[in-house]
Chains A and B, each alone.
Chain A
């Protein structure tokens, strides 16, 4: 194939981005961990106690996510029925919702009396992460031949025995993989824990934020972040080993089955449960945005009438409309940076001999928690001698770093599936290398970049963890404004937070739906 020369060097831009905004900050963080006095913080019982609490909470969240997600995975990815695609999309919605929105939705659903503590944190995590179970386990389940179950039953196994002895062992690695991801998300949770948790549901992530922004103890925060990184790394390593246990051989997806007999009931019950589980918190949130103690009201939506601040006392909230504009501009920059960096990375993966290794390197930010990323970025670029906080670039850069792996994950397989012979055809018709390459890959690349950029925008709009570290007090993003409003008493604050959350939900889901639609078309 005739590849243009510049393509061989396309990796330099994404590599430089990762070096500047991932490696350098992590080195700064490591410098804090390895500096004198660290032993004092390592021997402190606080981070270890918090790690224990977070482990118990994350295990419970994982168990509930599996209990809710497995029946959904079974029904939504294996049976054919009217509305299946819609139900599958609905089950995925919570995963794309910003964490502060989910926290607010759960608070409005259960009320302020029950609105905090272990149980509600676990339920909110299960709500956010059940889509992980549905997608990962469902993808594996759809490759298991349904006739294996029939074969087992004709050999004397009851339905349950057939499931336990044949289906479950085949699903095992996928379940372990999904469980590991849910555990890591719950273990490193910040937004849910801050807004719904109490002293027994702290995570190392929330401890890092407290040590950084309130106690101003960067060294202690770095130690907490390092402990968290070790736990997360160990779990992900275990998950990678488990994934290798999936039986080799060509996987194929089996045709969806029409539910018969008792399976019809199972499908009906699971679909109804999916609708109720997903929509109940969201409906409650919408209801909260138009409800006051005296009945229906639209007054909470008045915060969008102008750019006036809604500060009260010592709580600085600023103008919701300004926050909205700020979040949108951050999202736009994030989308542009992530699509460019991720797109070039995906092209390099295709063009270079070391493409696979490079793809792995671009995925590294996925394993770094938002708080670790935020803290590391602040240590490197948020204080003298290099203080970029005033430029307003730190948040979009951190968000782009979070979004680049998603862009690469979306773009690489699509580019790979493009027929490379089109480039050869164009070259044989007289096109120069760059033109020939663009003729072959350009149309796909353009569609994928728009879709991936949209995804990055959605990530940025709802991101809470890194923004908590990097936003200036007078320049909060929408999720930060919602969190600040929730920390203020009174129904007006709650109503205003709900109104902002509804707008955030509409913006995020519209973007993700547009990306999904565009992706399917391409």
Chain B
């Protein structure tokens, strides 16, 4: 299970890589592997105001559709348009080319609600028991 040390995680298996006031957001390796082949990504719109823990995007696999929840609150500033034609990038590269969107963070304190690599790893291990 690939869980990079340089980012933060939610219980719903989103990741956020935070650089100053900007966060890069995607879903984790665990999430993509549980979903199986991803066939469609419903991207947020640039300018959308999103709130931590609330719905912000959709990921569909052959078998099911899943909601993506915002890891932090703020404004969507960029979306990964490559995923429209190539949603499988999320399966192949969940932490870089499969990144879903970029946001401007409105409340940096919310980072405290996220897990670091170590906490997320033990959380995922607990799920598979």
Partners in one complex: no
